[in-house]
Amino acid sequence: MSARELVRDWLPPAVLRATRQLGGKLPRFAGQFASWSEAEAASSGYSAAAILERVVAGTRAVVAGEAAYERDGMLFERPDLPFPLLSALLRAATAHTGELRVIDFGGSLGSTYRQCRPFLDHLKRVDWTVIEQAGFVAAGQEFVSAELRFAGALSEVPPASPPAVLLASSVLQYLEDPYAILREVSASPAIRHLVIDRTPMGEQAHDRLCVQHVPKFIYDASYPCRIFSRTHLLAQLGAPWRLVCDFLSPRTRPMACLSSSAA
């Protein structure tokens, strides 16, 4: 282990976050806007085609064994294992005799699937469907397997057994109306577990609409983003769900929350 890695491991999280922020290595959230359209007007946007091209190249490298995992087109030499998420998935699988069915909303080309898959070997069955934009769905056909597939909407996922885990990882904050998606999820009899991961939340009374600036070493872009009010989000989820646990996402500032159906 290098001296730099030792320093990183021993620094308090707050100091480490501030250091990364000053160095441009963390996203920056700016402004407070009255509407999504105002936040959109204050952002630069991004090149969807360029990002997709990077993600496809990164995914190919991971599949070929040239990198441990990929996130937003960036390659990493060491695995970054999402243990709170794995705990949630394994909990759902034990509730359904070792079978795990995941609907990964906004799951890129299966980045989280590949991160988690080594810890799911002993399950009886794994079925993972990524819901994505049309360009990603088309590109994803290169990576389809017996376990992994891609679809353009929740309505395209056929009803199946066992009941599914809906995974929303770093996606709800970028939607103009995330609550419409959550209502659709809550109304689906096929979804019995909900994991909201890598999602910024705070203790404020209302959601904050802002602009997220991406670190330039990833790509030069900014876009509208929502910092959720945790209490408002849980209130909107309502009676169909009960909170099993909440936790801080590893290496990040945002709060994440795990929910499961009361049934």
Q: What is the pLDDT of residues 208-254, one digit of tens each?
A: 999 998 877 777 788 999 999 999 999 999 888 989 888 876 544 44
- Does position 8 have pLDDT exceeding 60, yes or no? no
Give per-residue burial for 44-78: e unless 16+ CB within 10 Å, then b. Answer: eeeeeeebbebbbebbeebbeeebbbbbebebeee
CB-based contact 211:39 (threshold 8 Å): yes
Q: Please give the domain boundaries of the chain with CATH numbers for all domains.
A: 33-42+81-261 (3.40.50.150)
Q: How far apart are CA 230 and CA 30, in angstroms?
A: 19
Q: What is the pLDDT of residues 107-134, one digit of tens each?
A: 999 999 999 999 999 999 999 999 999 9
Tokens standing for 13? 């999280």
Tokens standing for 106? 């906004």
CB-based contact 237:228 (threshold 8 Å): no
**Can you give the pLDDT at residue 249?**
65
Tokens standing for 59? 């995914």
Average per-residue pLDDT for the chain: 85
3-state secondary structure of 20: helix
Q: What is the pLDDT of residues 133-165, one digit of tens each?
A: 999 999 999 999 999 999 999 999 988 888 999
Peptide bond into 162 cis (omega under 30): yes
Q: What is the pLDDT of residues 168-207, one digit of tens each?
A: 999 999 999 999 999 999 999 889 999 999 999 989 999 9
Q: What is the pLDDT of residues 32-77, one digit of tens each?
A: 999 999 999 999 877 778 889 999 999 999 999 999 999 888 898 8
β-pairing, 222-229 with 241-248?
unpaired
